[in-house]
Amino acid sequence: MWKEFKAFAMRGNVMDMAVGIIIGAAFGKIVGSLVDDILMPPLGRALGHVDFSNLFVSLNGNEYPSLAAAKAAGAATLNYGLFTNTIINFLIVAFAVFLLVRLMNRWMAKPAPVTPSTRDCPYCLQQVPLKATRCAHCTSQLSAA
C-alpha cells in the first residue's frame, strides 16, 4: 500500500496540483489584501466614510459601535459588509484567472491543420486513398482526386 501511495503522490499531475494549490492560497492572500487595503478604503470614503468590514445588522435588536463589539457581546449578526468584501475578492480572483487562462491559450501551440489522406468511394462509401483510381472494396472505377 505504501508503494501505491508513493507512486500516486509522485506522479506529475499530483505535484502540479499541489503547487497550484499553494500558489492559489498565496494569490488569495494578495487579492484579499488588495481588496481590504487598497480598493475598499477609497470606495468607503467615496460612499461617505463607510468601512465595509464594519457593516452589519444585529439580530438581537441592540446597537453596537462595531462588529468586534457585537461579537464580544455574543450577539448574532448579519455581516453584509464582510460578504461584500468576499464578493469583490471573488470577482477579482475570477477575473485574474480568466486573464491567465486567456494568456495561456494564446501561448499554446495551435494544432496543424489535418490534411485528409483518404476519401469516400461514391459507390460503396468505404474509405480509399486519395490517389486510388479503383475502389479496393467494390472495384469501381474512381475519378482522379
One pLDDT digit (tens) per residue for the chain, 145 residues: 888 877 777 776 777 788 888 888 888 888 888 887 888 788 778 877 777 788 899 999 899 988 889 999 999 999 998 898 888 888 888 888 888 888 888 888 788 888 888 999 999 999 999 888 899 989 988 887 5
Helix, strand or coil, per DSSP, at residue 112: coil
pTM, two decimal places: 0.56
Helix, strand or coil, per DSSP, at residue 50: coil
Q: How far apart are CA 81 and CA 2, in angstroms?
A: 48
Asked whether the beta carbons of 64 and 70 are under 8 A apart, the reply is: yes
Read off the C-alpha cell for 53. Answer: 468590514
Torsion 38-40-46-48 (CA) sign: negative
Domain ranges (residues) in the chain: 2-110, 117-145
Q: Was domain 2-110 assigned CATH 1.10.8.640?
A: no
Asked whether the beta carbons of 32 and 24 are under 8 A apart, the reply is: no
DSSP bridge pairs for 57: 78
